[in-house]
Amino acid sequence: MIDDLFEFLQEGVTPYHAAATAAAWLEAAGFTRLEEADYWNLEPGKGYYILRNGSAVVAWRIPDHAIGGWRITASHSDAPGWKIKSDAVTNDGCRRLSVEGYGGMNMASWLDRPLTVAGRVLVRTEDGVETRLVHFDRDLLVIPSLAIHMQRNVNKGHEYNPQIDMQPLWGPEGSRSLTDLLCEALGVAAEDILDRDLQLVTRQAPTQIGPDGEYFLAPRIDDLECAATTLLGFIDAAAETDSACAPVWAMLDNEEVGSSSRQGAQSSFLRDVLDRILESIPHSAQMEHRALANSFLLSADNGHATHPNFPAKSDPAAPVRLGGGVLLKYNASQKYTTNALSGGIFRAICEKAGVKVQTFTNRADEAGGSTLGNLQSHSLPIPMADIGLPQLAMHSAVETAAVSDAEAMVRAVAAFYRVHLRALGDGVYTLE
């Protein structure tokens, strides 16, 4: 399993690459790609998936009988980082790229490490416009820090200014430009590049650490660890799920900046897919409402492990350990959607599967951020639980998590898709 996770972390250098990697896994598992602009002719027993914006994916399997509910997991493809605004700015004999921050990050973690560029490029073709992915798989640039000799008090705390501190060094004045490299990589002329969405990418490869490889270190653990492990559980169990329920896997985009895009959790993307699935098969309005009432969604986004150097930063009533199992996240203001009902159901599923569950809550004096479930519930009124995996150094350029927790998530999600969950009434369920 860890090799599959490392592949997803390594290949998913941008949301576009993460979506392409997910699509390749789904194709290998026998799922058929559809397009939103096409007519959908769905067959029982078959699996399908679609992309929106090239950065968000929804996959599902049609049950052999009428759809009696949905089993959904949702994660996100994006991570905090640096978006490239322009090709190069010359300054004192050097060329720099011009970048802007995306999401909240630990800026210092991006300094003095090998970086490269990846993303998508829109190119002109004979027939119109085409999207192409690009990833320069080599050490290409760096954001150099200012020497301590010129800021003697830096270790006492420094406020980073993105416009001054965080602009990356590209090369010497007169060197080939980023556009030159794009043209070479894509085999196009500069005038055929119409636009691009590019970002800086850390060059750290996923690697196991610890005396027996108990932990792992990688970029983008938040949230590609959840994306990969829920996808592995979905693929493992999708063909064996309750015939009355349709298994659905979603990886949405732009969570780190509020999810308000057309491919984010605040959009209609997931609900659009569910509605179109029902529209493609005979159903009644009653059937649609009954299916929603018999549905369940797991919002999968990582949470903070108790930091061994800073234990006071975590809730003392709910310590979270690396290697302690899947997180079940609670918040009094419903920024996490878990309540007694959804939490109890998830705990029961994990208990049957032999998966350890940890409770995650923030300190009472520390605000937590919203996740996918809170935002998705605006358009999808079904029971939800917020889950995740414990990690350290969240939103750093490189993060740390535990191998055993990732394995636990795969088992928990596979069990979630396999369980025969029935709503017998409000707050009354059967699990078989």
Same domain, 73 and 132: no
- For residue 177, the domain's CATH number is 2.30.250.10
Same domain, 176 and 224: no
Q: What letter represents residue 94's amino acid?
A: C
Please check whether residue 208 lies inside any domain of the structure. Answer: no
Same domain, 321 and 346: yes
Please check whether residue 370 lies inside any domain of the structure. Answer: yes
Task: Calculate the alpha carbon distances from 257 to 50, 221, 260, 335, 395 in Å.
Answer: 23, 17, 8, 15, 13
Please check whether residue 180 lies inside any domain of the structure. Answer: yes
- Residue 377 above 60 pLDDT? yes
Calculate mean pLDDT across residues 163-174: 94
Out of 156, 172, 202, a domain closes at 202
Q: What is the pLDDT of residue 427?
A: 82
- Residue 66 above 90 pLDDT? no
Same domain, 143 and 250: no
Out of 202, 233, 265, a domain closes at 202
pLDDT tier at 374, thresholds 50, 70, 90: confident
- Residue 432 above 80 pLDDT? no
- Residue 213 above 70 pLDDT? yes
Burial 73-104 (b: 16+ CB within 10 A, else e): bbbbbbbbbbebeebbeeeeeebbbebebbbe
Cα–Cα distance between 270 and 242 in angstroms, integer?
Answer: 21
- Residue 241 above 70 pLDDT? no
Calculate mean pLDDT across residues 398-411: 98
- Residue 316 above 70 pLDDT? yes
Total structural domains within the chain: 2
Please check whether residue 207 lies inside any domain of the structure. Answer: no
User: Percent of the chain scored above 70 by pLDDT?
Assistant: 98
Least confident of 38-52, 104-118, 217-231, 237-251: 237-251
Same domain, 64 and 112: no
Please check whether residue 210 lies inside any domain of the structure. Answer: no
Q: What is the pLDDT of residue 291?
A: 83
Please check whether residue 373 lies inside any domain of the structure. Answer: yes
Q: What is the pLDDT of residue 284?
A: 64
- Residue 242 above 60 pLDDT? no
At a CB cut-off of 8 Å and minimum separation 6, what does 277 contact? 40, 42, 60, 62, 67, 246
Please check whether residue 101 lies inside any domain of the structure. Answer: yes
At a CB cut-off of 8 Å and minimum separation 6, what does 428 contact? none
Please check whether residue 214 lies inside any domain of the structure. Answer: no
Least confident of 99-113, 115-129, 237-251: 237-251
Residues 192-206 have pLDDT tens digits of 999 999 999 999 999
Helix axes 15-28, 221-237, angle to 10 degrees: 10
Same domain, 72 and 86: no
For the CA atoms of 95, 96, 98, 99, the dihedral, rounded to the nearest 10 degrees, stands at 160
Same domain, 53 and 131: no
Same domain, 9 and 88: no
Domain that holds residue 197: 81-202
Same domain, 239 and 330: yes
pLDDT tier at 88, thresholds 50, 70, 90: confident
Out of 202, 233, 267, a domain closes at 202
- Residue 41 above 60 pLDDT? yes
- Residue 369 above 90 pLDDT? no
User: Percent of the chain scored above 90 by pLDDT?
Assistant: 78
Calculate mean pLDDT across residues 169-178: 92
Residues 254/371, Cβ–Cβ less than 8 Å: no
Same domain, 265 and 354: yes
Contacts for 180-188: CB closer than 8 Å, 24+ residues apart: 181/117, 181/136, 182/121, 182/134, 185/134, 185/136, 186/121, 186/123, 186/132, 186/134, 188/123, 188/124
Calculate mean pLDDT across residues 215-222: 97
pTM of the model: 0.95
What mean pLDDT is reported for the chain? 93
Residue ranges with strand state E in 136-214: 169-172, 193-202, 207-209
Residues 112-134 have pLDDT tens digits of 999 999 999 999 998 999 999 99
Same domain, 27 and 166: no
Same domain, 52 and 104: no
**Phi, psi of 392, rounded to the nearest 5 degrees:** -110, 160
Task: Calculate the alpha carbon distances from 281 to 45, 220, 275, 379 in Å.
Answer: 13, 38, 10, 22
- Residue 78 above 60 pLDDT? yes
- For residue 360, the domain's CATH number is 3.40.630.10
CB atoms within 10 A of CB 386: 30
Tokens of 159: 């406020």
